Chains A and B, each alone.
Chain A
């Protein structure tokens, strides 16, 4: 695990490769193609085998990804209700309606809260845990497993268990609050419109933190310890060391994790759908659940598809921007 992020030492190169080559690298691809000095017969044989080995993959990608993706654009431009075989073309009507729909704005606001808190909290907690674990040797496997484990659980199972923790009557959270004398705060966490979104968000933070933690932990392994030691001798406090010495060195990884959790915030669906279904009274409705209910419960297929497209379009600038920043930083950082 520790090998996977950026460690460029020779014996770890193989496992490290998938992560480092995070973006498609045209250069590398081409370098394979221009491998010169190959007799023509060999090249022809390679082409034949290459095409044969790729056809099954491309058939699946085209059929179950590219075609529906193209249809998504088409669906958004017509008015399809799931039945009419020749839906009327309506142009941008779906998008115009979308921008005037107060439910969309309410959902967007929830998405924004989700994105900000759902990104910041796992980053802070994950980094804190990773720093805490940094110098720990004994028992490190146990801690790592314990912190990472929630991330691999199915969302339905997570939803079920956290439903009990938030139970208004006998739930652990209310009981814990009562024990420490904060019984007045106890509430039906998922049923109260004021707390529902934050309750589900808390669950999501619990589930994602382990992932952030494990990425930071492996990034910290590559931090230059001599720099940290030197600054310690210079009398810096731990916070200064974190801010000026450690964070700059793990910045590319930091941005990568930010990108992932942020994009996840746009397309969040499973956990909300399972825990609250968007309720109570729309308090946890996000674009994802709204798109789903529009399409599959109200049969407004085109409207739901247009919503899903908007989610993607909203997320892309963030992804590209952060990715570009990350690339620039990692180029500076490693001199690669």
Chain B
């Protein structure tokens, strides 16, 4: 027994070291495009021209400045926030309200309503994006922040409602019954007893939805055609089309676009993964 352990141990350790080595190499390969972006964005103009894709061969912020001022990325950042924040708030608030109802408050027609909401998980945005364009035009919502926020929110609502309902379903019934005995109204039960218990789920949904809306490309592409409210995604696309030779500022623009994503990802990695795992039910 001891003999085998002595011979096994070093072999196992070598095996584990090899595994780590492989994992480190693979991690580098997976992160390489991100590293390349950061490296190119932080080079001097001169260096980009001579050696555009050499890693970290010089350091300067001039590309960032160019993208921020000449490339209009300062506007794009603002627009991205104006498109992502209100729509995310809307998704979290409405999903929490409806999620509570679908889990806890029976009313006639509730099942039908819920199935209609779940239908939104099955039908891709793609299917109805063209008619929606003309509908928004007819409603005067085309090329407005309001219209795009409402569309972004609706895209997120089906999943949000589904997600929040699951949290409310798992809370014990005894809680609300006890509160009801104490004379709490249904509204008070919802706000004072139930809401605090799903706070964590609400934050997960918020982080997840914000990221989805921040990254969304089709909604601003289709429904903000004039460019007055262009966010980072379509802004970067435009920049790519117009100045694809200006690799330095393009890299800087890319970095500006993904920086909030990086920050959010590092700060809330677990929440995000959880959101995506639940989002997996979405076809």
Does B114 lie within 8 Å of A288, measured CB to CB?
Answer: no
Task: Judge if A91 is at the interface, Cβ distance under 8 Å.
Answer: no
Q: Give A295 to B133 CA distance when docked, in angstroms.
A: 11
Stretch at the interface among B1-9, B56-64, B65-73, B115-123: B115-123
* Distance to closest chain A CB from B25 (angstroms): 11
Which of A66-80 touch B at CB < 8 Å? 66-69, 71-72, 74-75
Task: Judge if A119 is at the interface, Cβ distance under 8 Å.
Answer: no
Q: Give A139 to B22 CA distance when docked, in angstroms.
A: 13
**Secondary structure type dominating chain A contacts:** helix
Q: In the complex, which residue of chain B has the Cβ closest to the Cβ of A253?
A: B280
Binary CB contact string for chain A from 210 to 242 against chain B (1 if under 8 A, 0 otherwise): 110011001000000000000000000000000
Task: Judge if B240 is at the interface, Cβ distance under 8 Å.
Answer: yes
> Which of A34, A155, A164, A209 touches B215 (beta carbons < 8 Å)?
A155
Which of A12-29 touch B at CB < 8 Å? 13-15, 17-19, 21-24, 26, 28-29
Q: Give A64 to B135 CA distance when docked, in angstroms.
A: 9
Which of A150-202 touch B at CB < 8 Å? 150-165, 167, 170-172, 175
Task: Judge if B175 is at the interface, Cβ distance under 8 Å.
Answer: no
Q: Give A263 to B128 CA distance when docked, in angstroms.
A: 16
Task: Judge if A270 is at the interface, Cβ distance under 8 Å.
Answer: yes
Does A156 lie within 8 Å of B233, measured CB to CB?
Answer: yes
A304 partner residues in chain B, CB cutoff 8 A: 130
B111 partner residues in chain A, CB cutoff 8 A: 26, 29-30, 33
Task: Judge if B46 is at the interface, Cβ distance under 8 Å.
Answer: no
> Which of A165, A170, A274, A309 touches B36 (beta carbons < 8 Å)?
A165
Task: Judge if A51 is at the interface, Cβ distance under 8 Å.
Answer: yes
Task: Judge if A259 is at the interface, Cβ distance under 8 Å.
Answer: yes
Q: In the complex, which residue of chain B has the Cβ closest to the Cβ of A266?
A: B124
Quick one: given A158-B33, A274-B217, A312-B123, are A53 and B97 in contact (CB under 8 Å)?
Answer: yes
Does A1 lie within 8 Å of B277, measured CB to CB?
Answer: yes
Task: Judge if B190 is at the interface, Cβ distance under 8 Å.
Answer: yes
> Which of A23, A53, A75 touches B98 (beta carbons < 8 Å)?
A53
Which of A247-294 touch B at CB < 8 Å? 256-257, 259-260, 263, 267, 269-270, 274, 288, 291
* Distance to closest chain A CB from B121 (angstroms): 9
Stretch at the interface among A94-102, A107-115, A141-149, A328-336: A141-149
Does B280 lie within 8 Å of A257, measured CB to CB?
Answer: yes
Quick one: given A151-B276, A161-B33, are A33 and B106 in contact (CB under 8 Å)?
Answer: yes
Task: Judge if B272 is at the interface, Cβ distance under 8 Å.
Answer: yes
> Which of B36, B119, B251, B276 touches A172 (beta carbons < 8 Å)?
B36
Most chain-B CB neighbours within 10 Å: which of A3, A136, A157?
A157
B contact residues, total (Cβ < 8 Å):
106
> Which of B105, B132, B244, B283 touches A259 (beta carbons < 8 Å)?
B283
Does B265 lie within 8 Å of A58, measured CB to CB?
Answer: no
On A, residues with C-beta under 8 Å from B are 1, 3-5, 13-15, 17-19, 21-24, 26, 28-30, 32-35, 42-43, 45-51, 53-54, 56-58, 60-69, 71-72, 74-75, 82, 129, 132-133, 136, 138-139, 141-165, 167, 170-172, 175, 206, 209-211, 214-215, 218, 256-257, 259-260, 263, 267, 269-270, 274, 288, 291, 295-296, 301, 304-305, 308-309, 311-312, 315-316, 319
What would be 13 A-B contacts, judged by CB atoms less than 8 Å apart? A19-B277, A28-B169, A47-B105, A47-B106, A75-B130, A147-B30, A149-B30, A149-B31, A149-B34, A153-B261, A165-B33, A172-B36, A315-B124
Extra pairs beyond A34-B106, A154-B261 (19, CB < 8 Å) = A1-B274, A18-B278, A18-B281, A43-B106, A46-B105, A47-B106, A49-B101, A50-B105, A54-B98, A57-B157, A60-B153, A63-B150, A65-B123, A141-B269, A149-B34, A150-B30, A155-B233, A170-B52, A260-B283
